[in-house]
């Protein structure tokens, strides 16, 4: 709270939060040891201080289930409707702990072992590429609808 107030007083106009998920199980499974309620509280506080606020949600963490994704959508109903939400699939980079988890789960690292011009591939875990993109679109539509209904 104190830091956000100081940021606003110093002229901060926008904050981008890498929240990743609003499902506690998912956050803890990838080493983010905080309760989603804390993230939602900070998001809402930033908006109340007049700071334009954006939140990033990621789909496709290893072990994430449909129930976890639905929990994130449900919890997002507790954030201020003026918060912009960006939804992405999970991009993983060599050297990261989650990359090693993905390799153990069968992630194909051929992208990193060759010349490449295409975008970094999503790690889709248990989802197919089509399912991943479907969930991203579903979440984006949900957030756009929520903002439209409440503005």
CB 54 within 8 A of CB 85: yes
Bridge partners of 25? Answer: none
143 — pLDDT class (breaks 50, 70, 90) = confident
What per-residue string of b and e applies to 57-89 under the rule 16 or more CB within 10 Å gives b?
Answer: bbbbbbebeeebbebbbebbeebeeebebebeb
pTM of the model: 0.81
Tell me the pLDDT band of 142, cut-offs 50, 70 and 90: confident
DSSP state string for 18-70: EEE-S-HHHHHHTT--S-HHHHHHHHHHHHHTT-EEEEEEEE--TT--HHHHH
pLDDT recorded at residue 117: 67
The DSSP-derived string for 74-105 is HHGGGS-TT-EEEEEEEE--TTSHHHHHHHHT
Residues 25-61 have pLDDT tens digits of 999 988 888 899 999 999 999 999 999 999 999 998 8
> For the segment 103-121, what is each residue's pLDDT rounded down to a tens digit?
887 777 777 777 766 667 6
CA distance 92 to 142: 25
């Amino acid at each position: 709270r104190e830091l956000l107030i100081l940021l606003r007083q110093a002229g901060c106009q926008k904050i981008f939060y890498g929240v990743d998920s609003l499902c506690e199980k998912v956050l803890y499974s990838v080493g983010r040891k905080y309760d989603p309620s804390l993230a939602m509280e900070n998001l809402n506080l930033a908006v109340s201080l007049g700071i334009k606020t954006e939140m990033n949600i990621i789909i496709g963490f290893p072990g994430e289930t449909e129930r976890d994704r639905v929990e994130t959508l449900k919890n997002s109903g507790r954030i201020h409707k003026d918060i912009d939400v960006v939804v992405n699939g999970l991009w993983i980079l060599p050297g990261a702990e989650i990359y090693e988890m993905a390799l153990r789960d069968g992630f194909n690292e051929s992208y990193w072992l060759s010349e490449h011009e295409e975008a970094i591939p999503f790690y889709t875990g248990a989802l197919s590429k089509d399912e991943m993109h479907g969930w991203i679109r579903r979440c984006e539509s949900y957030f756009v609808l929520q903002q439209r209904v409440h503005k």
